[in-house]
Chains A and B, each alone.
Chain A
Amino acid sequence: MADEELSRSRFEAVFVKLEKPVFNVVYRWLWNTEESRDVTQEAFMKVWNARARVKLETVEPLVFQSALNLAANRLRVRRLRRFFSLDSVANERDPGQHADTALETEQRRAKVREAIDALPEKLKAVVVLCEFSGLSTNEISQTLGIPPGTVGSRRHQAMQQLETVLGPLEDAS
């Protein structure tokens, strides 16, 4: 019992640390706050349910891996629903998110979204994990099941594609 409580508290600590990064990764798939929150929770629950087989040091990559799979599945279902006209395209937008933002910001966000969505899934996974997860290159390679060198090359490719659409990206100074 004490062990379970300990692992529970550890797991909660992992959640506190990773909730925002995981949410941001998932958000780049779904672009919807509520859905991204649900998928984030689901990803953590999947790892929690498999805790007997999970080593503490692999929890973080595993949560991201699970979140990416769930987000991709959710997106597929959404596309299918849209194909069969069960979902309107408007449902994808998050009305609360951009309600009071200026038109310019909204346009910029739409452009960014379009550019990120246009990336092939493999490149998108790498660049989004690199930007939001806080995982090391090795951990990202573990998460995606690709060699660390591939992480680097895919990231480079993704950034090039983004810059082609959005123009050169300047670091904040």
Chain B
Amino acid sequence: MKRHEVFEVVEPPPFGLERLRARMAEQRRAPTKWVLAGAVATLLLVFVVWPRSGPVDLVGATTAFFVAPTRDVSPLDVSTGAVLELPSSNPEVILARVASLPD
């Protein structure tokens, strides 16, 4: 057998350089993607993964307010949530403002 038959040179498919250029150009744009991915990851870390104290118990605070035998208008002693009774012209209607307090 002839040597050149054993080591026959095969032609690569055309447009190899164009293909390579396209890949290189694509990579140039890639940093934008990484910056975006980094920003998303940071946001996730801050809002989801970051350790937080337990949620403010608004339901509990509100229930305590309404269940209490005498309602005190001042809510300042409430530590986890605040319920403030607002003036109401109708005695049948109780208006209350509920808010959470930052830790």
A–B Cβ pairs within 8 angstroms, 28 of them: A15-B16, A15-B17, A15-B20, A19-B16, A19-B17, A20-B9, A20-B11, A20-B12, A34-B13, A36-B12, A37-B12, A37-B13, A41-B19, A41-B23, A44-B20, A45-B24, A48-B27, A97-B10, A112-B1, A112-B5, A112-B8, A132-B7, A162-B6, A166-B1, A166-B6, A168-B1, A169-B2, A172-B2
Q: Which of B4, B5, B21, B23 has the most CB of A within 10 A?
A: B5
Query: What are the residues of chain B within 8 A of A137 when measuring CB–CB?
Result: none
In the bound complex, CA of A37 to CA of B16 (Å): 8
A40–B12 CB distance below 8 A: yes
What is the distance, in angstroms, from A162's C-beta to the closest C-beta of chain B? 7
Q: A12-B20, A44-B20, A108-B1 are in contact. Are A19 and B6 (CB under 8 A)?
A: no
Q: Write the A5-41 contact mask toward B (1 if CB under 8 angstroms, else 0).
A: 0001000100110011001100100000110110011
B20–A41 CB distance below 8 A: yes
Q: Please give me the residue from chain B that is nearest to A116 by CB atom.
A: B6
Query: What are the residues of chain A within 8 A of B6 when measuring CB–CB?
Result: 112, 115-116, 162, 166, 169
Q: Is the interface of B mostly helix, strand, loop or mixed?
A: helix
What is the distance, in angstroms, from A163's C-beta to the closest C-beta of chain B? 9
In the bound complex, CA of A90 to CA of B16 (Å): 26
Q: B97: CB under 8 A from chain A?
A: no
Q: A145: CB under 8 A from chain B?
A: no
Q: B52: CB under 8 A from chain A?
A: no
In the bound complex, CA of A112 to CA of B2 (Å): 11
Query: What are the residues of chain A within 8 A of B7 when measuring CB–CB?
Result: 131-132
In the bound complex, CA of A69 to CA of B33 (Å): 28
In the bound complex, CA of A23 to CA of B20 (Å): 14
Q: A41-B20, A48-B27, A97-B10 are in contact. List 19 more A-B contacts (CB 8 A).
A: A12-B17, A15-B16, A15-B20, A20-B9, A33-B12, A33-B13, A34-B13, A37-B16, A40-B16, A41-B23, A109-B8, A112-B1, A168-B1, A169-B1, A169-B2, A169-B3, A169-B6, A172-B3, A172-B4
